[in-house]
Amino acid sequence: DGGITQSPKYLFRKEGQNVTLSCEQNLNHDAMYWYRQDPGQGLRLIYYSQIVNDFQKGDIAEGYSVSREKKESFPLTVTSAQKNPTAFYLCASSTSTGTDTQYFGPGTRLTVL
């Protein structure tokens, strides 16, 4: 069953903690993306990766970090430097970057306590 999985579905973080969100895909896609979604706003790009061991900052990268050690996996760490981390986080993948359709995972809702 091909697709993109994200875990956990819900995540709670205390202030000052780092947390890592998982994203895995078995679509053999080269490109992967992380977005943040807040109520009433469009998706905002955090980081993206076009190929293993390479990634670029998006529009709102401050307070976040990523790694791309395997083609299938693109974990996102929300660090304590992110001042307002409560949001819905979406991972996506596509065959390549640019004019290729992005397919999304089910999302992780992060809440800071």
Partner 1 sequence: GESVGLHLPTLSVQEGDNSIINCAYSNSASDYFIWYKQESGKGPQFIIDIRSNMDKRQGQRVTVLLNKTVKHLSLQIAATQPGDSAVYFCAENSIGYSTLTFGKGTMLLVSP
Which one among 1, 2, 16, 42 touches partner 1, defined by CB under 8 A? 42
Catalogue the E-assigned strands of 9-102: 10-13, 19-25, 31-37, 44-51, 54-57, 64-66, 76-78, 87-94
88 binds partner 1, rule: CB under 8 A: yes
Q: Report in angstroms how near the CB of residue 99 gets to partner 1 at its nearest.
A: 4
83: left (phi over 0), alpha (psi -120 to 50) or beta: alpha
84 binds partner 1, rule: CB under 8 A: no
Which one among 21, 24, 33, 93 touches partner 1, defined by CB under 8 A? 33
Measured from the CB atom, is 6 or 82 closer to partner 1?
A: 6
Question: Using an 8 Å Cβ cutoff, are 18 and 78 in contact?
Answer: yes
106 binds partner 1, rule: CB under 8 A: yes
Which one among 67, 75, 77, 109 touches partner 1, defined by CB under 8 A? 109
